[in-house]
Amino acid sequence: MFRDSARFYDALYSFKDYAAEAERVEGGIRRRNPAAQSMLDVACGTGSHLTHLARSFTCEGIDLSAEQLAIAAQRLPDVPLHEADMVTFDLGRRFDAVICLFSSIGYTLTVARMEAAVARMAAHLNPGGVLVVEPWLKPEDWMDGHISRLFIDEPDLAIARIALSERKGRVSRFDFHHLIGTTNGVEHVIERHELGMFSDDEYRAAFEQASLAADHDPEGLTGRGLWFGVAPA
């Protein structure tokens, strides 16, 4: 995932308002734990959310992509970053808040692995700590055969990314075709991304199994909702 496109990731997602999203996430955390000081960003990517959240929290990040972590490390030289799988990670310490945004939880693929990831994140919360998860699409919201397209037009960078959506059971699949033009030439990069689709009941059950008091914001940051869970005090 993002192995070949990591170097262009920030350009591809430059449309996202990371500052506004970080502000909304912080607000949700402060309402549930006003004194929160430390934060772990799970699937932190290139660190665009952490850039803003690190102004309010002492932060760390984990991600499975070494390529994205290398970019995040350049952006956030003072933030500890770890290459780890959200399903199995163990940092040996706890935080006042743990976040997992931009639907990264979908990469767990199955309900069992999603539950394991939520349990791992919950295990890294201090008493009264807050878990924030932005879900991927629910099964009933998926559209087969949708053609997604994204275009970047900069002086020294042109990208056309096109993918056709399909599904296999509860797993959504995209083969992202990137046509990338730079001053060094033109290349064609293909990346397959697969994300599991889970129901609201399955997310709620995962939070409750991890002993978190769960509540759901149906709108969230991008229309996909946000799940909040608070650890026992």
What is the identity of the amino acid at 124?
H
> Above 90 in pLDDT, residue 103?
yes
> Above 80 in pLDDT, residue 175?
yes
- pLDDT at position 169 is 94
Ramachandran quadrant class, 92 (left: phi over 0; alpha: psi -120 to 50; beta: rest): left
pLDDT band at 160 (very low <50, low <70, confident <90, very high): very high
Share of the chain above pLDDT 90, in %: 97
pLDDT band at 5 (very low <50, low <70, confident <90, very high): confident
Helices (H), the chain: 9-12, 18-32, 48-53, 66-75, 111-123, 200-209
pLDDT band at 4 (very low <50, low <70, confident <90, very high): confident
The pTM assigned to this predicted structure is: 0.96
Question: For the segment 182-229, what is each residue's pLDDT rounded down to a tens digit?
Answer: 999 999 999 999 999 999 999 999 999 999 999 999 999 999 999 999
DSSP-assigned states of every residue in 161-179: EEEE-EEETTEEEEEEEEE
Share of the chain above pLDDT 70, in %: 100
| CA 31 remoteness from chain centre | 22
Q: What is the mean pLDDT of residues 44-63?
A: 98
- pLDDT at position 3 is 78
Q: Mean pLDDT of all residues in the chain?
A: 97
> Above 90 in pLDDT, residue 179?
yes
Cβ 61 vs Cβ 40: under 8 Å: yes
Q: What is the mean pLDDT of residues 159-180?
A: 96
Question: For the segment 68-101, what is each residue's pLDDT rounded down to a tens digit?
Answer: 999 999 999 999 999 999 999 999 999 999 999 9
> Above 80 in pLDDT, residue 2?
no
Cβ 40 vs Cβ 124: under 8 Å: yes
Identify which of 38, 59, 63 has the alpha carbon closest to the alpha carbon of residue 50. Answer: 59
Number of C-beta neighbours around residue 125 at 10 A: 24
> Above 80 in pLDDT, residue 130?
yes
Strand, helix or coil for residue 12: helix
Domains and CATH numbers, the chain: 6-138+198-230 (3.40.50.150), 140-196 (2.20.130.10)
Q: How far apart are CA 134 and CA 160, in angstroms?
A: 27
